């Protein structure tokens, strides 16, 4: 039988709530008290070609630069070494990241699942997976299980690492890229949706135009705000550019809208009080 607990009886190290920082305005969006939280799961979805992999690699490289002591791993289940070499040409800082390439080899007696669990057991502060759906498919084929079972295996592994069940005893944070349907909807079960702390969406202002402006926003966030847009572009070499000025303007506009709404509610309440008094 599962034990019943009270949060007041649980004790956590204060270091668990010291976030990782990218040194960019993205930190403000990642958490209400700035930075990437420890021991949590962020899912990243977005329109095709919007730059999901680039944004995640940029985040990892920036955190690595700010906090060299952090152990960071990128698990690539979609691209091989040659594919990623193109990214490194444009963003040299990506070249210093630890990468685990997971490739489907169903014609051989290959078990990438064993490799993945062994590497995870070493203990990583941050792990990014590109992508969950592709990795799930590889596990399904190689281990000869259903997609549901493969998802369950991956989620159990992630939860174990979240709770520091590894050789280093660290609460691992996962950044997991997930595929979407043609309409832009999330691909995955309700269990997968509920297991995440935040859903980061990378979108185009005009989904039909790959050259339209791009932005990051959260549709679900237990640690921060939802609906705030942070625009970015990938045209520069070396770093992703985030439009901090536009982001701050958006925050000011949202605050103004909130204040106006509050004033309208206060006015309506006063009006109701006066109306009720007149009735009596």
* Buried b / exposed e along 91-107 (16+ C-beta atoms within 10 A): bebbeebebbbbeeeee
What average pLDDT score do residues 120-145 get? 95
Mean pLDDT over the full length of the chain: 89
Is there a cis peptide before residue 270, judged by omega within 30 degrees of 0? no
Poorest-pLDDT segment among 79-93, 105-119, 147-161:
105-119
pLDDT value of position 246? 92
Residue 47 confidence (pLDDT): 83
* CB within 8 Å of 23: residues ≥ 6 apart: 62, 65, 66
Summarize the confidence of residues 213-233 as an average pLDDT.
Answer: 94
Is-contact 110 85, C-beta < 8 A?
A: no
The residue count of the chain comes to 280
How far apart are alpha carbons 186 and 209 in whole angstroms? 20
Domain-wise residue ranges, the chain: 19-242, 244-280
**Is the distance from CB of 156 to CB of 165 less than 8 angstroms?**
no
CA–CA separation, 88 vs 164, rounded Å? 31
pTM of the model: 0.88
> What phi and psi, each to the nearest 5 degrees, are found at residue 76?
-105, 110
Place of tokens 């520091």: 164
In this predicted structure, the answer to whether residue 280 has a pLDDT above a threshold of 60 is: no
Distance from chain centroid for Cα 228: 15
| Cross-strand partners of 241 | 233
Query: Would you say residue 104 has pLDDT above 90?
Result: no
The two structure tokens encoding residue 241: 């550019």
Give the distance, in angstroms, between the CA of residue 100 and the centroid of all CA atoms in the same chain.
Answer: 19
Per-residue model confidence as pLDDT tens digits over 20-71:
999 999 999 999 999 999 999 999 999 888 999 999 999 999 999 999 999 9
Distance (Å, whole) CA 17 – CA 148: 33
How confident is the model over 14-25, as a mean pLDDT? Answer: 94
Which pairs from 62-65 meet CB under 8 Å and 24+ separation? 62/22, 62/23, 62/24, 62/93, 63/20, 63/21, 63/22, 63/36, 63/126, 64/93, 64/96, 64/97, 65/23, 65/93
CATH assignment of 19-242, among 3.40.630.40, 3.40.50.300, 3.30.559.10, 3.40.50.720:
3.40.50.300
pLDDT at residue number 271: 67
Q: What share of the chain in percent tops pLDDT 90?
A: 70
73, containing H or E segment: strand 72-76
| CA–CA dist 65, 62 (Å, integer) | 5
Q: How far apart, in whole angstroms, are the C-alpha atoms of residue 137 and residue 120? A: 19
Residue scoring higher pLDDT (184 or 26): 26
DSSP string, 102-114: ----TTTT--HHH
Q: Is it the case that residue 182 has pLDDT exceeding 80?
A: no
**What's the whole-number mean pLDDT along residues 7-11?**
90
């Amino acid at each position: 039988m599962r034990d019943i607990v009270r949060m007041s009886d649980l004790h956590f190290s204060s270091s668990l709530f010291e976030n990782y920082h990218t040194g960019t305005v993205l930190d403000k969006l990642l958490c209400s008290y700035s930075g990437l939280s420890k021991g949590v799961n962020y899912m990243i979805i977005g329109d095709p070609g919007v730059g999901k992999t680039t944004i995640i690699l940029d985040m990892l490289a920036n955190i690595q630069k700010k906090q060299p002591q952090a152990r960071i791993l990128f698990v690539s289940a979609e691209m091989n070494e040659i594919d990623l070499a193109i990214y490194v040409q444009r963003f040299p800082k990506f070249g210093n990241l630890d990468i685990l390439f997971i490739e489907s080899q169903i014609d051989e007696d290959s078990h990438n699942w064993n490799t993945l669990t062994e590497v995870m057991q070493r203990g990583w502060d941050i792990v990014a997976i590109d992508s969950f759906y592709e990795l799930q498919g590889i596990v399904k084929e190689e281990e000869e299980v259903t997609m549901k079972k493969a998802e369950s295996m991956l989620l159990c592994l992630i939860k174990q690492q979240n709770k520091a069940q590894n050789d280093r005893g660290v609460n691992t944070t996962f950044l997991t890229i997930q595929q979407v349907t043609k309409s832009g909807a999330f691909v995955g079960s309700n269990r997968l949706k509920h297991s995440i702390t935040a859903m980061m969406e990378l979108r185009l202002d005009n989904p039909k135009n790959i050259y339209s402006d791009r932005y990051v926003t959260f549709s679900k966030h237990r640690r921060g705000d939802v609906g705030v847009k942070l625009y970015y572009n990938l045209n520069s070499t070396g770093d992703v550019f985030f439009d901090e000025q536009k982001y701050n303007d958006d925050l000011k506009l949202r605050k103004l809208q909130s204040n106006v709404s509050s004033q309208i509610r206060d006015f309506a309440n006063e009006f109701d009080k006066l109306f009720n008094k007149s009735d009596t």
